[in-house]
Amino acid sequence: MDLGIDRQALVPVVQQIVSAVAEWIRKNGVSPGTRLPSIRQLALDNLLSQSSVMEAFERLVSQGLLASRHGSGFVVAQPPAADENHWYEGAEQVWGAFTDSPLGELKLGCGWLPDAWRESDDISYAIREVSRTDTAALFNYSTPLGLPALREQLLKRLTQIHVPASLDRILTTHGASHAQDLLIRTLLKAGDEVVVETPGYGNLYRQLAFQGVRLLEVPRTRGGPDITALEVLLQTHRPKCLFISSLYHNPTGTSLCRRVAERLLELARDHDFLIIEEDVYGDLQHASCTRLSALPHGDRVIYVSSFSKTLSSALRVGYLCASATIITQLTHLKTLTGIGTSRFAEAMVATLLSNGTYRKWVQRLRKRLNAQMAATLQVLEDEEWQVFSVPAGGMFLWARPGSADPSRLQVCARRLGVLLSPGGLFSPTGERSEWLRINVAFAADQRALALFRAMGATRPTSTILKTTSM
């Protein structure tokens, strides 16, 4: 078996072995139970150390691609039985998008900040402060609506962005995904129809499919959902809800324009549907923007946000703002299914909000992201990549290689040690697409820059790979 090891590539040799064996299994449709060459033979044929091959095989075992049999070496593993529920298909790949890569690849399309950008001192301070001043937070449940101190801070924040609210209209959650789940299970039933943007957030699609909800797709444009397509859809369908990301949309980075927002509210009133507005990247705002929740909407808009993308995804603190009637229903389900949210985590966030620490951190983060956004856009322009839209802020770009052969993209990325988030992950049907989500916070990494240049329209791949490995 020729593994095609490139000792001048940026990717560690062990990782190359893992990728090569996995690709050989997939490409050739190797049957479960097939025995692989011995470690000694594979090392000899590819001029590798046996320890490197052994480590690679152990990693493949942990990934479920290989199995170790006493006296027989390593064989191709039996894949897990298929689940009847189609929503679960690809769940391991989906979960992998949220976890650290055991092989050390660069997750260029991930949805969070690099560890090197985090400021742990502020969180450490909040932990000490809460432990010292609020012992109850260490041991007790939070209240059904959420910690009062946090909800008071959230009310101030909502007022600052002109979203009408009151304490009895705010509910805390375990992040935005938990808020979406509560809303789906409270407002919808199997067979109901909802409108979703495409491309959009893949986890939302799966949450809806799990509950048996039918998805009606509307293309995302540079200014929001395609209004013409939505109007045509509403002629023959009666959706219960529309799910939208107004600011710094995931994955395109676009933001809602005022004209589209006003028309959406008109359609919601005329066709009697609710709008669920996710705003998890809204704190990255540094220019004028349009939120549906901030416009007169007669309780037709439900606002969802969290601190996972900006502060810490480990804290799992999110919230939503809705009518008092809906909040009552959501609170009942939240209490029934999970008792409550983490009082300790909510106390920490309340501390960081009340002492101004979070505000200062977000200001620094905006500045850093804006600089990196500009730098990444310049690199992509130089290499003749196509960018869907130039965002006004946030962390995402939606882009694809220019005239270079897109079929080489995955091969090139694997060789450079880059994991991509391709367009199919952001489609309700998983439809393949040449578009990629790029997180600009990771785009300054040398592996990302090498990929941009390798897939540029003006330079041959071999030259770029050789140059970047020097």
Going from N- to C-terminal start, the domains of the chain cover: 13-76, 86-118+359-468, 120-355
What's the CATH code, domain 86-118+359-468?
A: 3.90.1150.10
**What pairs with residue 387 in β-bridges?**
399
Q: What is the pLDDT of residue 458?
A: 52
How far apart, in Å, are the Cα atoms of 467 and each of 9, 78, 287, 461? 10, 41, 39, 10
pLDDT in tens, the chain (470 residues): 888 888 877 678 888 888 888 878 877 778 888 989 999 999 999 999 999 999 989 888 887 888 888 777 888 888 755 444 443 444 444 444 545 554 568 899 999 998 888 888 888 989 999 999 888 888 888 899 999 999 999 999 999 999 999 999 999 999 999 999 999 999 999 999 999 999 999 999 999 999 999 999 999 999 999 999 999 999 999 999 999 999 999 999 999 999 999 999 999 999 999 999 999 998 888 667 899 999 999 999 999 999 999 998 888 999 999 999 999 999 999 999 988 899 999 999 999 999 999 999 999 999 999 999 999 999 999 999 999 999 988 999 999 998 666 678 888 888 888 989 888 899 998 888 889 999 999 999 999 999 999 998 654 443 333 333 32
Q: What is the pLDDT of residue 395?
A: 95
Q: What is the pLDDT of residue 118?
A: 84
What is the distance between the alpha carbons of residues 361 and 344, in angstroms, rounded to a whole number? Answer: 21
**Residue from 259, 254, 249 nearest 389 by CA:** 254
Look up the CATH number of domain 13-76: 1.10.10.10
Query: What is the topology classification, in CATH, of domain 120-355?
Result: Aspartate Aminotransferase; domain 2 (3.40.640)
CA dist list (Å): 28 to 3, 90, 397: 14, 20, 34
The C-alpha angle with vertex 425 and arms to 307 and 105, in degrees rounded to 5, equals 75
CB 31 within 8 A of CB 75: no
Residues 447/418, Cβ–Cβ less than 8 Å: yes
pTM for this entry: 0.80
- Which pLDDT score is estimated for 90? 43
User: In this structure, what token pair is assigned to residue 46?
Assistant: 């590819």
Residues in Cβ contact with 401 at an 8 Å cutoff, skipping those fewer than 6 apart: 385, 386, 409, 434, 455, 456, 457
